[in-house]
Amino acid sequence: MTTTLVIGLQWGDEGKGKIVDALTKDSSVVCRFQGGHNAGHTIKVDGESHVLHLVPSGIINPKSKCLIGNGVVISPQALEEEIQMLNNAGISVENRLFISAKCPLILPTHVAIDQARDKQENIGTTGRGIGPAYEDKVGRRSIKFSDLLDLMSIKEKLFNILDFHNKVLTKLLNAEELDPQIIFTDLKKFQYLAKSYSCNTNELVEDFYKNGDDIIFEGAQGSMLDIDHGTYPFVTSSNTTAGGVSSGLGIGPKFIDNILGISKAYTTRVGEGPFPTELFDSTAEEISRIGNEFGATTGRPRRCGWLDLKALREVIFINSVTTLCITKLDVLDNLETINACIDYDQSTPVYKSFTGWQSSTVNCNKFSDLPKCAQEYILYIEDFLGVPVNIISVGPSRNQTIYR
């Protein structure tokens, strides 16, 4: 039995979903612990693509179980849509999906505030209401997932919160208010979700752990989007780094065996904010095209640039990463020269250049199958970061994964 924490080391979209799916065994339990449906995880199995936002990526394996911990913010509507999407794809979540009673709900007013405020602040959020929902959690006024079971008992509290949100919308953000009665009536339709999935995930995690199950903790977003350690204020509103799993799921740090950090072989970012190694030339276009770099949640083009080893070194410490996975190596297959930032001069990146391999890696099954120059790139990354690269991904499919 092992417990593995999977963490994105960049600004998200590192391929966490693909790798979590590839690591999921029949006996695995896969747990989300932060974020919400701002995440977009694409998993390709047997030629079919599934895009998950809220449900853990373990759901694609029919025998695994999936938990959503207290640290996740839940939009009942997004949850309903995702379960429906999975059902349509022939994937059942019954007796496989467990959601913490303590998850704060994302209300329609959170979405309206997020979208109205982003017009002023220009963070480039996903517009899913994530930030405002976490504000209410910290402000001790959240409606929780289990509150859906008995909405009458929290009606007054809900209307007070909605009144507060409407004041923010109309008086501060120049936006339309939303009708509290409609929101209340709509919420009642989601009572069945709480009946089906709400539970005490703290107890469950402890049971699974003591039972010796393999547990994967699936991070969403990436370390540089962490609310405390990221490129503030251009960050998301949760702790995306390793510490988030203890608070967001209720598992002590001592029970985590491996911390697998995932990085692309280059860097991407969606939304605004600093990106020192960003490219604006034909190489950026090529990476974007070959890597299909468009956000899975909003469809926005992802900004592309070189790998930033200097930044990775910092987040490796923050997360106490024990092993690394490098994804999308195949996207660099055609490049003549590849650069990686190894330092900064003031704030200008200092690059080390690598000779491109200019041959296909997509059918490589073993490290020794990779072209020599690709091996050298990986070995340099490993040496620079002082952490072994144990997994290399050379395509979106489950089987395009090299284990070392």
Q: Are 329 and 393 in contact (CB under 8 A)?
A: yes
State in angstroms the smallest separation of the CB of 137 from ligand IMO: 14
Nearest to 83 by CA among 105, 104, 99, 70: 99
Positions 332 through 391 that interact with ligand IMO (CB under 6 A): none
Total residues binding Mg ion (CB under 5 A): 3
Q: Should residue 8 be labelled a site residue for Mg ion when binding is judged by CB under 5 A?
A: no
Q: Should residue 13 be labelled a site residue for ligand GDP when binding is judged by CB under 6 A?
A: yes
- Report the C-alpha gap between 235 and 229 in whole angstroms: 9
Stretch that binds Mg ion, among 36-44, 180-188, 336-344, 365-373 (CB under 5 A): 36-44
- Report the C-alpha gap between 241 and 251 in whole angstroms: 15
Q: Helix crossing, 180-188 with 155-167: angle to 10°? A: 140
Stretch that binds ligand IMO, among 18-26, 68-76, 80-88, 214-222 (CB under 6 A): 214-222
Task: Write the DSSP string, 4-46.
Answer: EEEEE-SSS-SSHHHHHHHH--TT-EEEE-S--TT--EEEEET
- Between 40 and 291, name the residue whose CB sits nearer to Mg ion: 40
Nearest to 62 by CA among 98, 17, 26: 26
- Between 7 and 193, name the residue whose CB sits nearer to Mg ion: 7
Positions 149 through 178 that interact with ligand GDP (CB under 6 A): none
Given 41, 50, 53, 165, the catalytic residue = 41
Q: Are 291 and 284 in contact (CB under 8 A)?
A: no
Cβ-based neighbours of 6, under 8 Å, separated by 6 or more: 16, 19, 20, 23, 216, 217, 218, 219, 260, 262
**Candidate list 82, 214, 226, 330; residue touching ligand GDP; CB under 6 A:** 330
Q: What angle do CA 312, 313, 315 make, to 5 degrees?
A: 65
Q: Should residue 60 be labelled a site residue for ligand GDP when binding is judged by CB under 6 A?
A: no
Interaction mask 103-132, ligand IMO, x per CB under 6 A: --------------------xxxx-x-xx-
Query: 51: which 2 tokens?
Result: 């895009």
41 is catalytic: yes
Stretch that binds ligand GDP, among 6-14, 82-90, 203-211, 317-325 (CB under 6 A): 6-14
Query: 49: which 2 tokens?
Result: 């693509």
13 is catalytic: yes
Cβ-based neighbours of 69, under 8 Å, separated by 6 or more: 31, 32, 33, 100, 103, 201, 205, 248, 249, 250
- Between 202 and 231, name the residue whose CB sits nearer to ligand IMO: 231
Query: 113: which 2 tokens?
Result: 């505030």
- Between 262 and 370, name the residue whose CB sits nearer to Mg ion: 262
Q: Under the rule (CB under 6 A), what is the footprint of ligand IMO?
A: 8, 11-13, 38-41, 123-126, 128, 130-131, 220-222, 225, 234, 236-237, 270-271
Residues that bind ligand GDP (CB under 6 A): 8, 12-18, 40-42, 44, 291-292, 296, 327-328, 330-331, 393-396
Tell me the catalytic residues: 13, 41
Binding site for Mg ion (CB under 5 A): 13, 40, 296
